[in-house]
A and B are shown apart, each in its own frame.
Chain A
């Protein structure tokens, strides 16, 4: 799609009517001024957009007296780790390290489950011809548009009757059953882009679907698998409604739920610790973002994913 046979290269500006484009003449004065204005505007917008995140990080290092009130500068002379020390102590006798571990178990479980189940199901949709495939594919797409609130009540009732409330099973089982249609769809689209000659050749050589899937498709699908892993990790890490419904005992809580408990109990008395814990709860997401930003942003633009 991106390889359009346009004779001219994409041009930076749209206003200059000159039909001839010479890439060497980039450094003319007008272009420089335009570029400078662009960067000033863009950087100002970036500053605005990133301000809440910067404010959060800065506030987490500041003493309570400097959060809110008259002193709202991002820079403080009294930076300290005190808030983090308080936040790490946790809440309700459970240390924040436990919450971290719980979040990690859930997120890693979500990644493993989603990558396995979505890739296997996507292979069926993309590469095998069988009766009913079109119908099922349409249903899979329809679940993308379905508000998931319509299923949470019966799901809860079933898990409650099976005695699985307050375990991680309800939170993870959907991941192993490809319930996130987004990821199945993403992988189907990706696999459809791979040349059909590959599996045809393998078939002639006598390979079955298991071989074709395992030794040909999976290695080629690396970009789709990486996008899926990143997003399912982050979504699971940030998930709030699922744990809120299914978990009752604090020592099983993941971070978002612990954070809410923390806010409930400290209220506004210890703003600093509250914000420090918010930072801790977002830390893996921030790290993921910094490390994988290229994959994340490109994954969205090519697959139409949502964050």
Chain B
């Protein structure tokens, strides 16, 4: 991604040596000038805060008194903090069940829509719509109303003889409700899957058909391997995304993570510690643990991807 082929082409067309180096100096100056907005933002809003967050995670800081160095105390305390451990459990449950289900729905619908038929544009848009509104406060409120006591979901289930009496107040059901909310927003990965499916050469399927392969074999031997880079991309992005759920958890639980801590997501607990209790050092330690966990998961994904992700770069 560093050296573009334009450089060599350009130097070849430049007639003399001094002109080339003058151009190079001018390019460097122009490069940094154009990069200035991003560079400033990167230093002031990302690198700087990351360093201070790391420092704060080793301190006690309440925003009013000077930070007090306490070493690894925050990290040690975290693992004795039951609410923290609960928030880890809640978030893990959400990531482990929600993300694969969402991706499965996205892939299934993408395969359904990957054919030349009338109305595909309409279907694509309709299925994508929830992705756009799903993370909003409005939908969190609607979800709460729909899954509440004698809401439409409750009503619908009682039609089948299932009486749950609302999901919102029941700690055993809230996770299911949150997972349904994320699965419902399968549109974004679906559209990416669709773009990937369009890249698979049709003659592969034709050849497989002539060899007598059924739909399952075609999926396992053609669709899955050919689509694996896209599956990998979606899996990585959706997993990282799932760790960061906040607005819907906040709204559905009135900002408290209830009932019985069943919606105490990691970021919600981080927010409560940092901005309600003003334990900024403690919350910073939580933030760094999140970075480490997400980093490790990304690394594992990339390492294991070698065995199942096939990049057919030269097949283009």
Q: Are A and B physically bound partners?
A: yes
Instruction: Verify B137–A240 contact, CB threshold 8 A.
Output: yes
- List A contacts of B112 (CB < 8 A): 38, 41-42, 45
Contact count A vs B, C-beta below 8 Å: 327
Interface-facing stretch out of A50-58, A104-112, A221-229:
A50-58
Verify if A178 is at the interface (C-beta below 8 Å from B).
Answer: yes
Task: Report Cα–Cα, A123/B38, bound state, in Å.
Answer: 11
User: Which chain A residues lie closer than 8 Å to B236 at the CB level?
Assistant: 145
Q: Is residue B308 contacting chain A, with contact meaning CB distance below 8 A?
A: no
B35 at the interface (CB under 8 A from A): yes
Please report whether the interface of chain A is mostly helix, strand, loop or mixed according to DSSP: helix
Q: Is the contact region of chain B dominated by helix, strand, or loop, or is it mixed?
A: helix
Within 8 A of A (CB), among B113-165: 113, 115-117, 119, 121, 123-139, 141-143, 145-146, 148-152, 155
Among A243-263, those with CB < 8 Å from B are 244-245, 256, 259-260, 263
* Cβ-defined contact, A278 with B141, below 8 A: yes
A138 touches which one: B1, B251, B298 (CB < 8 A)?
A: B1
* Option from B36, B132, B152, B210 in Cβ contact (under 8 Å) with A289: B132
> Is residue B48 within 8 Å, beta carbon to beta carbon, of the partner chain?
yes
Closest to A184 in B: B38
Check B48 against A256 for contact (C-beta < 8 Å).
no
CB nearest neighbor in A for B119 = A39
Q: Known contacts A130-B32, A245-B275, A306-B241; is A147 also within 8 Å of B290 by CB? A: yes
Flag whether A296 is at the interface (Cβ < 8 A). Answer: yes
Do A296 and B287 contact each other (CB < 8 Å), given the known contacts A12-B116, A179-B41, A240-B250? no
- Find out whether the CB atom of A154 lies under 8 angstroms from the CB atom of B7: no
CB–CB A55/B137 < 8 A: no
Which residues of B from 220 to 247 have beta carbons under 8 Å from A? Answer: 233, 236-237, 240-241, 243-244, 246-247
Instruction: Determine the distance from Cα of A188 to Cα of B280 in the docked complex, in whole angstroms.
Output: 36
Contact of A179 with B142 at beta-carbon distance under 8 Å, contacts A38-B115, A154-B53, A196-B9 already known: no
Contact between A6 and B137, CB atoms less than 8 A apart: no
Which B residues are CB-close (under 8 A) to A42?
112-113, 119, 123
The yes or no answer to A101 lying at the interface (CB within 8 A) is no
Contact assessment for A149 and B109 in the assembled complex, using a CB-CB cutoff below 8 Å: no
A206 to chain B, nearest CB (A): 12
Those of A1-36 within 8 Å (CB) of chain B: 1-2, 4, 6-17, 19, 35
Cα-based distance from A124 to B148 in the complex (angstroms) = 51
Residues of A contacting B56 with CB < 8 Å?
153-154
**Smallest Cβ-Cβ distance to A138: which chain B residue:** B1
| B109 interface neighbour in A45, A133, A264, A293, Cβ under 8 Å | A45
6 contacts between A and B (CB under 8 A): A52-B184, A129-B6, A138-B1, A148-B244, A149-B267, A174-B41
